[in-house]
Chain A
Amino acid sequence: MSRRQIKIPLLFLTPALLLLTIFVLFPVVNTIYISLLNQEGEFVGLDNYAEVFGRKEFWNPQNLIEGKPPPYGALIHNGIWILVHLPLSVFFGLLLAVLLRDVKGGAIIKSTVFLGVVIPMIVGGVLLRFIYEADAGIVNAFLRVVGLGHLARTWTAFPQTILLALILGSVWIWTGFSMIVYSAGLEGIPMELFEVAKIDGASRWRTFWRITVPMLRPATIVVVTMTLLWELKIFDIVWIIQRGGPGGASMVMAVMMYLRAFLYIPSNFGTASAIATLLTIMTFGFAAYLVNRMVKS
């Protein structure tokens, strides 16, 4: 029933197009425009981008090269977030999806793990801060039990530990997502494939790598894309715990943007817009690359 006409479809689309134009499309273009202006509203080309990259808050590889603790700058912190969080949350999600299929009470465990994705990220931040507390935190209690009590501290209070503490905590928050997508992917694999493999005498390990993993490729692409975007945009948990501190050691792009636009006095919409634009370019880059791969395969 493909009806060729203009009036009716346009009428149906008008509310959506109006809202999208005012609150998404125009703001995107406007943010790019603002990123090219200085505080006085004069056109300054890419000066704001140069300023952002010139700031240690954004780009500070020196500490990393010299092997010193953070801050390394927001861009590098987001990069580390991706490098650590992506493999861990994808791996744990896959592991749980595969294991919990055959475990008694698996559905309950799945729901529990998935709660991390359901609760507000602000509350996720509270939970993380609480487990990392010096005396009240369970992490230190665990360290004391296994004889590593000398390491005990408030993990989110020191530049040496906060970034990694938050990243590992965010694995706890996000693993439920990859687990759920992989679980759905597993249900889509025909049982006969596994039965044939069993009859052929293939080991569990071999079946996993030769059947399960390749058949889950579409799920993996979805998981990796969504997780990458999530890591690039990470905001709430960093904000509520230390606002990017101490000393910029947990600064990420979204927090830096928010600080410059809405907290610092005077606010600087130019550099904040430049950070937002950079963030969006990266988001689009990853999304386009992965969608392209998905289409090809």
Chain B
Amino acid sequence: MRRLDIVARLKKVKRFTILTHIIAWAVSLIWIIPFLGVVMASIRPLPEILNGWWNFEVFNPTLNGFSGAWNHRTAPLSRALLNSLIVTIPSTFMPILVAALGAYSFARFKFPTRDLLFLVIVLLQTIPQQMVIIPIFNIAISIGLWNNYLGLILVHTAFALPWQILFLRNFFSVLPVEVEEAAMIDGASYFKIFYKIVLPLTLPALASLTALQFVWVWNDFFFAAVLIGSPDLKLATQAIPAQMGRLDPNWTVTSAASIIVMIIPIAIYVALQRYYVRGIVAGAVKG
């Protein structure tokens, strides 16, 4: 009797396991198919795509899509990709440095209005890009920072500060202060303590910030669309709509362009997955 019970139960567990596996793999299929679609479309001539990229009666793989996207007449990715890097790299490291200094101040010092100031900065996190863009556009025009990467980099830097300060302050406040105190007794300056002791301990948090901020800036379209106008200065995310056009896109070229542009954030994510996810989960998400 008892044995039969266990057998029945095992059977039930097994059926459940099989069911969950089927559901899980079916769902993941839904998620992978659009990616599979652009990969197939990027290596096939347009007529074959219009016939369905899942049909293989005729199959003439080609790299014309990639060369077309790379050397596009009006929005070549060869330049747009470089432009994106020129903007993204400083826009990744500048805010981290500035936020680290600020967050350290919030975590280690007591000063009047500290908590109020911190609250205001945290609240700024929810400000949509649309809420700041018109005055920023006006400022940029009037001081010559429109159509200028420096302007875009400064905007990205400022916009990243609220969540990075929050993230780093939380990180600093759980670091043990004894080492810093000992260093202070030994006569080290605050700045020396900061970059000799605190920053090295902060490396995992900095890895999270780097991964998230790089991907965020690389993926941004809105700030770039408003602040960068000349065709030869346009960034990678701006090149995609330019190449796709509005009617009857050349799917071979558009798919290839999409792959080239998305491979960078995907690579960052794969390389720094642990830190990336940790940053997301810590609530360090904005947009």
Contacts and interface: CB of A to CB of B under 8 A. Distances in A.
Nearest to A10: B111
Contact of B136 (A27, A95, A253, A279): A27
Interface in A101-151: 102-104, 106, 109, 111-123, 126-131, 133, 135-136, 138, 141
B154 A254 contact: no
B161 A20 contact: yes
B222 A1 contact: no
B210 interface: no
B13 to A, nearest CB: 10
Interface in A1-24: 1-6, 8-10, 12-13, 15-17, 19-20, 22-24
**Chain B binding site: helix, strand, loop or mixed by DSSP?**
helix
Contact of A172 (B31, B49, B106, B158): B31
B155 interface: yes
Given A8-B109, A126-B240, A130-B37, A233 B158 contact: no
Nearest to B241: A240
A239 to B, nearest CB: 8
A236 B32 CA distance: 21
B41 interface: yes
B128 A130 contact: no
A118 B24 contact: no
Nearest to A233: B128
**Chain A binding site: helix, strand, loop or mixed by DSSP?**
helix
Contacts of A279: 128, 130-131
Contacts of B126: 229, 283-284, 287
A121 B221 contact: yes
Interface stretch (A40-48, A64-72, A82-90, A267-275): A267-275
A19 B158 contact: yes
A126 B219 contact: no
A272 B134 contact: yes
Interface in B57-91: none
Given A16-B98, A235-B222, A229 B287 contact: yes
A232 interface: yes
A293 to B, nearest CB: 15
Contacts of A126: 38, 240, 244, 254-255, 258
B213 interface: no
A10 B134 CA distance: 30
A8 B28 contact: no
A206 interface: no
A38 interface: no
Interface in B129-174: 129-137, 139, 154-155, 157-159, 161-162, 165
A177 B24 CA distance: 17
A52 interface: no
B161 A16 contact: yes
Nearest to A22: B158
B266 interface: yes
B31 A184 contact: no
- Which of B127, B159, B218: most chain A CB closer than 10 A? B127
B192 interface: no
Interface residues of A, number: 93
Interface string B221-263: 1100110000000001100110010000101001100100110
A34 B28 contact: no
A181 interface: yes
A120 B237 contact: yes
B31 A116 contact: yes
Interface of A: 1-6, 8-10, 12-13, 15-17, 19-20, 22-28, 30-31, 34, 92, 95-96, 99-100, 102-104, 106, 109, 111-123, 126-131, 133, 135-136, 138, 141, 172, 177, 180-181, 184, 204, 222, 226, 229-230, 232-233, 235-236, 239-240, 253-254, 257-258, 261-262, 269, 272-273, 275-277, 279-280, 283-284, 287
29 contacts: A6-B111, A13-B105, A15-B102, A16-B121, A17-B102, A23-B154, A23-B157, A24-B132, A103-B25, A111-B273, A112-B31, A112-B32, A116-B31, A118-B265, A119-B266, A120-B237, A122-B219, A123-B262, A130-B34, A130-B41, A135-B50, A138-B54, A141-B52, A180-B280, A222-B283, A233-B128, A258-B222, A262-B225, A276-B128
Interface of B: 16-17, 20-21, 23-25, 27-28, 30-35, 37-38, 41, 49-54, 98-99, 101-102, 104-106, 108-112, 114, 117, 121, 123-124, 126-137, 139, 154-155, 157-159, 161-162, 165, 177, 180-181, 184, 190, 194, 215, 218-219, 221-222, 225-226, 236-237, 240-241, 244, 249, 251, 254-255, 258, 261-262, 265-266, 269-270, 273, 276-277, 280-281, 283, 285, 287
Ranked nearest first, the 10 interchain pairs of A and B with the lowest CB-CB distance are A23-B158, A16-B102, A27-B132, A27-B135, A9-B109, A120-B219, A12-B105, A30-B135, A19-B158, A109-B28
Given A122-B219, A240-B240, A283-B127, 19 more contacts: A12-B101, A20-B124, A20-B162, A23-B157, A28-B132, A96-B27, A113-B31, A126-B255, A127-B37, A127-B258, A130-B255, A133-B251, A136-B52, A180-B281, A233-B287, A239-B221, A240-B241, A258-B226, A261-B134
